[in-house]
């Protein structure tokens, strides 16, 4: 399919921006069927408001725990439950081997 540059209007700021043929081809290859609604600046601004890369770079909440194997204190990225063993990273790595 042949694509041509399109001029679109941003729904946020009303500015005109170009949806290039290359971008259209990329969108189609990824299965996107809708055209972008925001200009690059408004997309970047919205991404920052939502926490950068949609939250992927946020620090993870960690929970204190006691390792069921060595008894050492550790932190894990999930809330430990009563009756379920939790292992520190060293003991967990040994168990995986």
User: Block means of pLDDT (10 residues each) for the chain, length 97 residues?
Assistant: 93 95 94 94 86 64 94 94 93 88
Domain ranges of the chain: 6-49, 63-96
User: Long-range CB contacts (< 8 A, 24+ apart) of 37-40?
Assistant: 37/8, 37/10, 37/11, 38/10, 38/11, 38/12, 39/10, 39/12, 39/13, 39/15
Give pLDDT, residue 13. Answer: 95
Give pLDDT, residue 49. Answer: 80
Give pLDDT, residue 93. Answer: 92
With beta carbons less than 8 A apart as the criterion, state whether 13 and 21 touch.
no
CA distance 42 to 79: 37
CA 84 to chain centre: 29
| 0.85 exceeded by pTM | no
Give pLDDT, residue 56. Answer: 62
């Amino acid at each position: 399919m042949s694509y041509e540059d399109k001029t679109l209007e941003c729904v946020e700021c009303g500015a005109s921006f170009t949806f290039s043929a290359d971008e259209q081809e990329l969108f189609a290859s990824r299965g996107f069927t809708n055209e972008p609604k925001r200009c690059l600046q408004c997309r970047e601004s919205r991404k920052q408001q939502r926490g950068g890369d949609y939250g992927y770079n946020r620090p993870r909440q960690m929970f204190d725990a006691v390792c069921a194997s060595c008894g050492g204190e550790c932190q894990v990225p999930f809330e430990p439950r009563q009756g379920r063993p939790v292992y520190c990273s060293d003991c967990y790595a040994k168990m995986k081997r």
